[in-house]
Amino acid sequence: MKVFVLNCGSSSVKYKLYDMAPGRVPAVVASGKVERVGTDTAIITHRQGTAQRQVTRPVFHHYEAIQLCLAMLTGDGGAIEATAVDAVGHRVVHGGELFREAVVVTPAVKEALRQLNDLAPLHNPHNLAGIEAAEALLPHAPQVAVFDTAMHARMPAHAYLYGIPYELYERHGIRRYGFHGISHKYVAHRVAERLGRPVESLRIISCHLGNGASVAAIRGGVSVDTSMGFTPLEGLLMGTRSGDIDPGALIYLMAHGDLSLADLNALLNRQSGLKGISGLSGDMRDIEAAMDAGDDRARLAFDMYEYRVRKYIGAYAAAMNGVDAIAFTAGIGEHSPRLRQKICAGLTYLGVRLDEAQNAAAAGEAEISAPGSSVRVFVIPTDEELVIAQDTVALLAARR
């Protein structure tokens, strides 16, 4: 079965074409991305086997971007005929309370997704644009929506509710939804495979540390708590997002600081986090380089980042009454041995023992805990597209 996976962001479209067959490891036939969608200098990169093609041209809409991806896939020397695509799997960031599992897209599903646009204005409209473009361009193929929130949809109410009047949850859906669920799901299943134990028997803390960052407490394969909340702004310190902050400070700033709603949004989403603290950059590579050059604010930003991750790990060990494995993923989680070392150095009370050499050398998937560590620690490069492809195949198979 050929599954085309699409991940449409605000200014990018990423895709992968999988060949999936029961009992066989899924094969990536081709992959690529369109960056700078909405400009006249969009960059399309397409990989097929060992070959790579790159084109720069105007791409103003997601429809055009997906049309170009498909032209690369199905054109001269392409991997496949368009009619041979059996299904399309879409990453959709927000499923609200309506979608707890992947769904086959129907007109009713699209209408429901439109209702959710307000909950994720920076993401869902682009996801929906991708669905509509793929429907138009591949009308024979079923479209499946796979949600970033679904992994967290079975969190208990005591974890997902905020301590505000209950009516606000009932009326406006104000609650923790959590994000990065597709990535946390991949990580949890890989950890279970590496441990040779069913995911249902494990307590895993998954740390997705990219530009956006979140920690999830996963017990029995189900996320029971996660650091992102109603929006992807809560929780960890991130590249440019504040993470946790006393809402009272925001009330104060609005009362005293002449901050408009738009200013507040920009402050918390784009001017905070590593960037806001260091005054330099929201990119962890720049922070580590500046810290090495003696920059105190960069060191402070790094220390705050590390401390926040470690605090959440402690909280989630408490939430699950223990932890069997901790996993690090995404750009920073996979590539910053220094951060992992510092976090683990503060978790010895949990029985974490890091293998310093393995941690320093880890490239790709690796166990970095020392023999005898009572909590196993892993680096797991995430693969969200694979989960989307697998969920798509599983859902369609279940309907047959």
Residues engaged in binding ligand ADP (CB under 6 A): 210-212, 239, 283-285, 288, 330-332, 335-336
Report the DSSP beta bridge partners of residue 2. 19
Closest distance to ligand ADP from the beta carbon of 151 (Å): 17
Closest distance to ligand ADP from the beta carbon of 244 (Å): 18
The token pair at 16 is 């992968």
Residue nearest to ligand ADP (CB): 331
Q: Which is nearer to ligand ADP, 89 or 210 (CB)?
A: 210
Please list the alpha-helical segments (H only) found in 165-260: 166-172, 181-195, 247-256
Q: Whole-angstrom Cα distance, residue 212 to residue 227?
A: 11
Name residues whose C-beta falls within 8 Å of residue 373's C-beta, 6 or more positions apart in sequence. 351, 352, 353, 354
Closest distance to ligand ADP from the beta carbon of 215 (Å): 14
Closest distance to ligand ADP from the beta carbon of 330 (Å): 4
Q: Give the position of tokens 């590390």.
A: 306
Closest distance to ligand ADP from the beta carbon of 400 (Å): 34
Q: Which is nearer to ligand ADP, 79 or 386 (CB)?
A: 386
Closest distance to ligand ADP from the beta carbon of 329 (Å): 8
Report the DSSP beta bridge partners of residue 213. 209
Radius of gyration of the CA atoms of the chain, in A: 21
- Identify whether 118 is a catalytic site residue: no
Name the E strands within the chain.
Answer: 2-8, 12-19, 27-35, 39-48, 51-59, 87-92, 103-104, 143-147, 203-209, 213-219, 222-226, 325-329, 366-367, 376-379
Are 95 and 80 contacting, i.e. CB atoms less than 8 angstroms apart? no
**Which member of 76, 86, 118, 148 is catalytic?**
148
End-to-end CA distance of the chain: 14
Q: DSSP per residue over 44-103, as a string?
A: EEEEETTEEEEEEEEE-SHHHHHHHHHHHHHSTT-SS-GGG--EEEEEES--TTT-SS-E
Q: Whole-angstrom Cα distance, residue 333 to residue 341?
A: 11
The token pair at 37 is 């969608």
> For 301, how many CA atoms within 13 A lie in the half-sphere containing its CB?
31
Q: Which is nearer to ligand ADP, 302 or 316 (CB)?
A: 302
Give the residue numbers marked as catalytic: 148
